[in-house]
Amino acid sequence: MKNRLRVLRAERAWSQADLADKLGASRQTVNAIETGRYDPSLPLAFKIARLFGLHIEEIFFDEAAEAAAE
């Protein structure tokens, strides 16, 4: 699953550590989500969405579903 987390974080000039602190997660987890190596749980995805004031689907993209729709 792809996401815009790195872009959203960069727009706010936050480091991965800053974002990790705000989410109550580890920096390694933020890094793994950004690089697409780890898909967060629903509670964490909602937390991320709330933090950026966006809907989950505005941050995370299901590439397989999008490809199927096309």
Task: Determine the Cα–Cα distance for residues 51 and 37; give it in Å rounded to an integer.
Answer: 21
CB of residue 10 to another protein, shortest distance in Å: 5
When the beta carbons of 43 and 69 are compared against another protein, the nearer one is 43
The residues of the shown chain that bind another protein, judged by CB under 8 A, are 6, 9-10, 13-18, 24-29, 31-32, 35, 37-38, 40-41, 44
Residue 42 or 67 having the CB closest to another protein: 42
Shortest reach from residue 32's CB to another protein, in Å = 5
Q: With contact defined as beta carbons under 8 Å apart, do 8 and 58 qualify?
A: no
d(CA 47, CA 69): 28
Q: Which is nearer to another protein, 35 or 55 (CB)?
A: 35
The burial class, CB within 10 Å (0-12 / 13-18 / 19+), for 1 is middle
